[in-house]
Structures are given as C-alpha cells and as structure tokens.
Chains A and B, each alone.
Chain A
Amino acid sequence: MSVLEPRRYLCHRARSPIEIDGRLDDPAWQEAPWTEDFVDIEGDRRPKPRYRTRAKMLWDDEFFYIGAELEEPNVWATLTEHDSVIFLDNDFEVFLDPDSDSHLYYELELNALTTTWDLLLNRPYKDGGTPISNWEMPGLRTAVWIDGTLNNPLDTDRGWSVEIAIPWTAIMEPRDRPDASGRPPSTWRPSEGTTWRVNFSRVEWDVTIEGTKIRKVPDRPEHNWVWSEQGVIDMHRPEHWGYVQFTLLPPGQAAFHEDPSREARAALHEAYYALHDHRRAHGRWPEALAELGLNSRLPLALHATPSLFEVHCPVTYPDGSRHVWAIRQDALVWEVSS
C-alpha cells in the first residue's frame, strides 16, 4: 500500500483588493503561484485529465480567496437553484477542513452559471456523515468568467475561470463564537503558519453535440480531476487533501513548514482502513494490530470495544518533542493530551 503525498501550498496575503468578478486579473493574484495541474482523483494509474485545471489562493483579514482556471472547449451549465446537486453539471468544488481532524468540514460546489451548493459534513460519508445543505456560508462571494460562450456548441471555448471569497466568519462559525461585543475572535482567521487541509475537485462529464445543444453522454461516469490525489473515487477522505499554509511573509521569504504529525497521521489512517476491512471480513475488530500486516514503522497501540476503537501512535518530532496522535473508528484524528 503506497502512501499518498498530499499537495502543499503556501498561501500569501492579498496585497491589494480583489474584485470578485471571475477574472483573475487583479494585481494581487500575480503574486500567488498556481497550484500543480489537477490530476485524476485516483492518481497516476489513471490517464492525465484531457483539460488543464489549476488554482491559486490568497487571504486577508476578511476572506480566503480562491481563483481557478478550467480549460474547457464546451462551457455548459444548467442548474440555477442554490443548493442543487451541482456536480450533475460540470463543476468546480472546494473542500475545507480547518482543523485537519477529518470531521466537521465544508464543501462548496459551483457551476458555470455561478450556482452554488454549500454544505457542512459532520464527518465523512464512509463514517456515517450527513451532508447538511441547510448550512449556509453567509457573506460568500463567487463569480465565474467565461472565456467563450455558455451553452453554445457552435464554437470552441477556451474555458472558464472562478473567483471565490470565503469569509472567515462563515466557516469558523460552528467552532467558535463571537465575543460579547459581537466581534469575531481573532482565532477565526489564520495567523503565521496556520495550516488547513484543502482540496479542489473538478467534475467533467463527457458530452455530445446534438444540433445546438450540449448533452451528457448517457451512462458514462463523470471524470473527477483534483488538486491533491485521493487514491480512490472519493473526495470525502480529508486525510488526502492538500496542506494550505497561511503566511504573512511575502513570497520568497516564506517557507512551507512540514506537518510534524504527518507520518503518524498516515500510519493511523492505514490502521483505520485495515481495521474496517478486517471488520467487514470477520464481523469484528482484530485482537491485535499484528494480524493486519501494516507497513508502518511506528509503534501503534489498539484499544477496542465491540463497536469502537482508538489507535494510538507515539511520535517524536524533528525538534525532539514527543507526541501521541490517535484515530477513532469514525476517522476522527486528534492529539492525545498527556
């Protein structure tokens, strides 16, 4: 079993205002590097996406900015109602897990008509999570710019670009409350080195041209092109999302700081999947992790009840400090306080 390397991105401050109009032509964007080109959700064993997709990010005191560029010869979209199942059209999707625990994370989908679906997941679907669509991102700003024509198959388009401004207040809300004065606490926005887990996904359907209409080819699954490879056709494995690290330093002076818990997290997730595989096959958790043949070199300890488990993983950080990380049967990851 290979260990996927999540992508990494250093997110700089926007040094001038960003107008959310779908065009990434604001001067501030020039300082933001592009992400890697998106790859198939399953990674290298699948062909390279036929159209290029890439993104950029910036931040300021109010917003997390995302800009994306989607190469596309036939820009089309049909859904106009907020909170529709947007991925039934071609779409661009954002996934955010601010505290990296793989629970309580956010998803935003939008199509080329700028119709949005914003939702909250209490935990991943595989762990019994429910998509909470009546959750809203108040103050969210989105715009799409089409380099070509929408829903017109008679010409070849160059693509569409997306600009998104997510207010910190909209996404940190369930985690923390404003103080008595109503001001959001300063913990709602990143500080130097704050690291979130983020992924982007693009859903692309095969289409045919029928007269003046663009139609989906029936019975073909969608393509899923993503920034940080998931290994399987499932975006809801937040442990594979990229690392986005916020910095106040200007480009050139800032360096990405690796997550010192990454090896422990990978080992814990390997154990988590193996434990669930074992339970599916045998109807119960194993007596010991040794039965599972894990690759990890880290010493893992299993504690289980008939329906629950926690696996502990002690790890020494590069600075010599010792920490214990843990995962639960519902994929929650946390640092065990000593």
Chain B
Amino acid sequence: MSLAWALATLALSSPTLPREYLCFRATGEIRIDGRLDDPAWATAPWTEDFVDIEGHKRPKPRYRTRAKMLWDDRFLYIGAELEEPHVWATLTRRDSVIFQDNDFEVFLDPDGDTHQYYELEMNALNTLWDLMLIKPYRDGGPAVFHWDYRRIRTAVHVEGTLNDPKDEDRGWTIEIAIPWNDLFEHQSQIPQDDSPPPTPWRPSEGTTWRLNFSRVEWDVEVANGSYRKVQGRPEHNWVWSPQGAIDMHRPEQWGYLQFTEKPPADARFVPDPAKPARQALHRFYYAARAYRERHGSWPRTWKEAGLTDPPPAEVLSFRVHTTPSLYEARATVRYPDGTTHVWVLLNDSKILEVKK
C-alpha cells in the first residue's frame, strides 16, 4: 500500500465522509434563471464549501464553491455558486467535452450501487454534456455519450462579464432542475411528459441517493485581450465530497443525498446503517484489484488481499467466493437497530444488499 493511498484512506475514514445533505421540499416555485433568489432557496442550507478532489492533503481551493438542493414531485433542484474573478467559456455545442472549459458537474447514482449513474457538466455559456455510465470507467464503463437528460432545465447567471478580462468578476451561479422522469426513463411506469412519476420513481421520506458535485478550474492568463489557458498545467478539481484520488468515477465516495418531506426544524439526517459494510467491501475491492495484478487471481480472504487491520466491528463476517474471473465478497453487518444484513460486492464493484 502506497503512502498516498494510506493517507487517502485515513482522510476518507473520518466520520463526516462521505458528505451528507438533507434535501427539503421546495416550498414555492423555483424559476430556472440562474439566480438563486427564489424564496424557496432561503430554506435550503448550503453544502460545505468544496475542497480539493484528493481531500485535505491538497491545498484549499482558491475560490469558494458551494451548492444547495431542493425537491418537489417532478424535479431535483440544484443551485450552485462559484466564486470566480474571470468568468469565461468557449464551448457552445451540446455534448462537447465541457471540462475543457471551467465547468460545474453533477454526478448522480440514485440506487447507490455504483453502476448505471448519470453525469452532467455545464459551462458558463450553459452548454451541457450529459451522459450515462453503465459502470465506472475502472470497471470497463462504457460512458454512453448519446444519453440525454431530455427534459432538464438549466440556467447560468454571470455576476460580472463573460469572457471579458478587463474587469474582475464576482462569479457565476447555476440553477438546474433534473426531472425524475429522466433518471428513471427506463421504467415503464414513467410518464412520457413532465407530469410527476409514481413512487418509487420519485423520492419519499428518507430516500437516500449518492451524489457529488465537481468544479473544474483551469489556470488562465490574458493574451490579446482574451482569456487563455496556461499551457501545460493540469486542471484543478474542486468537489463537494472528496474522492481521495483524482477520479470522480468512484461513486462510493460521493455524498449522501437524503430527501425529506418534513420541515427543516423537524428533519434529521439518518446515517446509512450499511456504511461500515460498504466501506469494508470497497477497501477489499481496491486491494483485490492490486492483488490480481500481482498474482493473476483473486484473493480468497480479507487477509490474503493484504488488508492487515480487521474490518470494522459492525462487520460480523467477511467472506469471499472466487472463480477464475469473478468474485463476490459478502459482508454481514449489524445495523445500529440490532438487525443484521448481508451486503455483497461483485468484482465489477457493484454493491447491493442481498436478502438472507
């Protein structure tokens, strides 16, 4: 295990990670115009300020980024505020590689199994790149670029001037309304229009999804009166829930987004009782990959994978079953309410609860 990985693991095992957000119902209409001035937004708390994608071992981002969320029967609303003295954007064609500009990105995995998740990128010109991942890239993907958020609404408001280096801007704000009908379009019960889908294809009290936000920021300089990326410099990646590596495609590190119907004063975030099992299984996943690279086969136990410290105390048993190319790892976990549950991780990192 490399030192960097050890540090990342340490940072990521701190209790506040992955991030958690309690999402309230919108109490009024939200006009998607890029300005977070609708009265409903006032009830939504800000997320934590974004941090470097690798976490605390990297410097704090030089510009502040934060987001809010709300929901109603039809949409998940996302508002974001990006401090930025030089607002610029160049790409205007949908499904361009938007992170070549400065951008804001949304990653969503409704069922939290780390497969079949959605990505949205947008720049200050409100140009979108929307795609679906069948699996994370590490597990072979692929990314489906011809997938579209068909009924999405997005808007950008620039607090300053776009592509004008003569003045200093304050930043840009973003408003997004993601329809449940797009996220669950593959379910036959989903209406073909904007009307609300039946449950469970929209959240109810306590529904918990995995979500992350990322902001890509390039170092720029001014040349001939316009902004220009400084050549040969990698981008900065500032995120809500740190990933521990420069890789957004580790959905197990994304934040927990929990929906509630209760008013803010009465609602409380309920932590994921399966978190110790999930974290043990994903530690095994990365260790097993490294083991296979060295030995050409899967490790048959937690220890054989090179994991020296035991799984967390809540994990009552940890078993691995292998074939030449596949494995499943099974963690039996005790929830805080005393019940036991079995969670399974497959070699392609898919994670799910199995009924005993």
Binding site for B on A (CB under 8 A): 81, 83-85, 104, 120, 122, 130-138, 170, 173-175, 303-310, 312, 326, 328, 336
Given contacts A81-B192, A130-B116, A174-B142, 13 further A-B contacts (CB under 8 A): A122-B134, A132-B132, A134-B148, A134-B150, A135-B147, A136-B147, A303-B324, A303-B326, A305-B321, A305-B327, A306-B321, A308-B346, A326-B325
Q: Do residues A310 and B326 form an inter-chain contact, with CB atoms below 8 A?
A: yes
How many Cβ-Cβ contacts under 8 Å join chain A to chain B?
A: 82
Specify the chain A residue showing the minimal Cβ separation from B190.
A133
Q: List, sorted by A's number, 26 A–B pairs whose CB atoms are closer than 8 Å.
A: A83-B192, A120-B144, A122-B134, A131-B186, A132-B144, A132-B185, A133-B186, A134-B132, A134-B185, A137-B146, A138-B146, A170-B146, A173-B145, A174-B141, A174-B142, A174-B144, A174-B146, A175-B142, A303-B324, A304-B323, A305-B326, A305-B327, A305-B328, A307-B328, A310-B326, A336-B324
B344 interface contact, C-beta 8 A? yes
Q: How far is the CB of B102 from chain A (nearest CB, A)?
A: 21
B254 CB-CB contact with A under 8 Å: no
Q: Nearest residue in B to A307 (C-beta to C-beta)?
A: B328
Q: How far is the CA of A25 from the CA of B240 in the complex (A)?
A: 59
Q: Is the CB of B146 within 8 A of A122?
A: no
The answer to whether A305 touches B142, judged by C-beta atoms less than 8 angstroms apart, is no
Query: Roughly how many angstroms separate A173 CA and B131 CA in the complex, as a whole number?
Result: 12
Q: Is the interface of B mostly helix, strand, loop or mixed?
A: loop
Q: Shortest Cβ distance from B115 into chain A, in angstroms? A: 9
Asked whether, in the complex, the Cβ of A84 is within 8 Å of the Cβ of B144, the reply is: no
Given contacts A132-B186, A133-B185, contact A309 B146 (CB under 8 A): no
CA distance A135 to B186 in the complex (A): 10
Check B182 for interface membership: any CB of A closer than 8 A: yes
Task: Check: B88 CB closer than 8 A to any chain A CB.
Answer: no
Q: Residue B354 contacts which of A304, A305, A307 (CB distance < 8 angstroms)?
A: A307
A84, A138, A310: the one within 8 Å of B324 (CB): A310
In whole Å, how far is A187's beta carbon from the nearest beta carbon of chain B?
Answer: 14
Alpha-carbon distance A312/B148, docked complex (angstroms): 38
* B217-233 Cβ-contact flags toward A at 8 Å (1 or 0): 00000000000000000
Given the known inter-chain contacts A104-B134, A305-B322, A307-B344, please indicate yes or no for A135 contacting B327, CB distance below 8 A: no
Given the interface pairs A174-B142, A305-B326, A310-B326, the reply to whether A134 lies near B354 with Cβ below 8 Å is: no
Question: Shortest distance in angstroms between B118's beta carbon and chain A's nearest beta carbon?
Answer: 10
Q: Which residues of A contact B116 (CB under 8 A)?
A: 122, 130
> Which B residues lie at the A interface, using CB under 8 A?
116, 132, 134, 141-150, 182, 185-186, 188, 192, 321-328, 330, 344, 346, 354
B146–A173 touching, CB < 8 Å: yes
Closest Cβ neighbor of A301 among chain B residues: B324
Most buried by B among A81, A84, A122: A122
A83 to chain B, nearest CB (A): 7
Q: How far is the CA of A135 from the CA of B141 in the complex (A)?
A: 15
B325 touches A134 (CB 8 A): no
Residue in chain A with minimal CB distance to B142: A174
CB–CB A136/B326 < 8 A: no
Return B305 CB to nearest CB of chain A, in Å.
16
Chain A residue at smallest Cβ distance from B95 = A138
Residue in A81, A174, A326 with the greatest tally of chain B CB atoms within 10 Å = A174
Chain A residues in 8 Å Cβ range of B322: 305
- Find A174's partner among B145, B148, B149, B324 (CB 8 Å cutoff): B145
A134 to B184, CA, bound (A): 10
Q: In the complex, what distance in Å separates the CA atom of A309 from the CA atom of B347?
A: 12
Q: Which of B147, B326, B327, B330 contacts A134 (CB 8 A)?
A: B147
Of all chain A residues, which has the CB nearest B149? A134
A308 touches B146 (CB 8 A): no
Pairs of residues from A and B, 6 with the lowest C-beta to C-beta distance, nearest first = A305-B321, A303-B323, A130-B186, A174-B142, A308-B326, A174-B144
Residues of B within 8 A of A306 (CB): 321, 328, 330
